[in-house]
Amino acid sequence: MPGRRDAGSRPWPLDPLDPLSVDEELRASLEDLAVQVAVEAGRLVRDGRPAAVDVHRTKSTDLDVVTLMDTRSETLVRERLDAARPDDGVLGEEEGVTGGSSGLTWVVDPIDGTVNYLYDLPAYAVSLAVVLGDPTRPGAWSPVAGAVVAPRTGEVFSARAGGGARVRGADGEGEPVRLRVGDAQDLAGVLLATGFAYDREVRVGQARVVADLLPRVRDVRRMGAAALDLCHVAAGRVDAYYEVGTHAWDVAAGMLLVTEAGGVVSGLGAQDPPSEAMVVAGGPAAHATVRAEVERLLAGR
Least distance (Å) between residue 8 CB and ligand IPD? 38
Which lies closer to ligand IPD via its Cβ, residue 22 or residue 241?
Answer: 241
Beta strands 125-133 and 219-221, pairing class: unpaired
Of the CA atoms within 13 Å of residue 93, those in its CB half-sphere come to: 32
In degrees rounded to 5, what are phi and psi of residue 134?
A: -110, 105
* 200-259 binders of ligand IPD (CB under 6 A): 224-226, 243, 245-246, 250
Which lies closer to ligand IPD via its Cβ, residue 138 or residue 196?
Answer: 196
The conformation of residue 251, written as its DSSP 8-state character, comes to H
Q: Which of helix, strand or coil describes residue 214?
A: helix
Which lies closer to ligand IPD via its Cβ, residue 143 or residue 195?
Answer: 195
Q: Which of helix, strand or coil describes residue 239?
A: coil
From residue 40 to residue 79, the character string flagging contacts with ligand IPD as x (rule: CB under 6 A) and all else as - is ----------------------------------------
From residue 102 to residue 141, the character string flagging contacts with ligand IPD as x (rule: CB under 6 A) and all else as - is -------x--xxx---------------------------
- The residue sitting closest to ligand IPD, measured at its beta carbon, is 195
**Residue 261 near residue 181 (C-beta atoms within 8 A):** yes
**Residue 111 near residue 69 (C-beta atoms within 8 A):** yes
Which lies closer to ligand IPD via its Cβ, residue 31 or residue 112?
Answer: 112
Least distance (Å) between residue 244 CB and ligand IPD? 8
The helix or strand, by DSSP H or E, that contains position 75, with its residue range, turns out to be helix 68-84
Number of residues near ligand IPD (by CB under 6 A): 14
**Residue 5 near residue 13 (C-beta atoms within 8 A):** no
Which lies closer to ligand IPD via its Cβ, residue 113 or residue 151?
Answer: 113
**Residue 160 near residue 22 (C-beta atoms within 8 A):** no
Q: Which residue ranges make up the site for ligand IPD (CB under 6 A)? A: 93, 109, 112-114, 195-196, 224-226, 243, 245-246, 250
